[in-house]
Amino acid sequence: MKTLLTADDLREGVIRMSLEIVDAYGDCPLTILGVLTGSIVLMADLIRHIDIPLRVGVVQARSYRGAATRRGPLVINSDLMPDIRDRDVLVVDDIFDTGHTLVELTRLLDDFMPRTVRTAVLLRKQGRQEVALQPDFIGFEIPNEFVVGYGLDYQDEYRDLPYVAVLEEDDLR
**Catalytic residue numbers?**
97
CB 55 within 8 A of CB 81: no
CA-nearest of 121, 120, 124, 115 to 143 is 124
Tell me how far apart the alpha carbons of residues 117 and 68 are, in angstroms, rounded to a whole number.
Answer: 29
Strands 164-166, 88-96: pairing is unpaired
Work out the number of other CB atoms within 10 angstroms of the CB of residue 171.
15
